[in-house]
Structures are given as C-alpha cells and as structure tokens.
Amino acid sequence: FIDNVMPKMNGIELGKLLHESQHKRTAKLIWMSADSEYYDKQYFHGILHKPFELEKLKLLFDYFLKSSK
C-alpha cells in the first residue's frame, strides 16, 4: 500500500520507481488516496479510497491473495 502524501516523494513517484525496478515482478502496488484523480493504472494494481472501510481493505487482500495463486 502506497499513500499519495509522503514526505520526500509522492505515491505516484514511488509507484513509478518501483514499477521500473525489479519489484514490479512480485509486488502488487495499491494506491491509497482521498483523491483518485491522479490514479495511474500503469503503476498500480488497485486503489483504496480514503477514508477506507475495513471491508474494502479485506476485499483487496482477498482479491490479491487469490490472484497470486
């Protein structure tokens, strides 16, 4: 899970960096933000809108755990 608001770089910059590295082969990047306007499917596998509900978080976990098998 990558929050969009972080101290030294934003979540999109980190997502792009990870996407271009070796991590893209194994990591599933989920973007967390109150604003989905800048969501980029190119770098992230999903989005979790803030404030989020526990049930939506559980659904994301279930989806990615099933898809990794």
Full-model pTM:
0.70
Ordered alpha helix ranges (H), the chain: 11-19, 54-67
pLDDT digits (tens, 9 = 90+) for 9-57: 988 898 888 888 866 567 788 888 887 776 777 888 888 888 888 998 8
Give all strands of the β-sheet with 2-3 in edge-to-edge order. Answer: 2-3, 30-33, 46-49
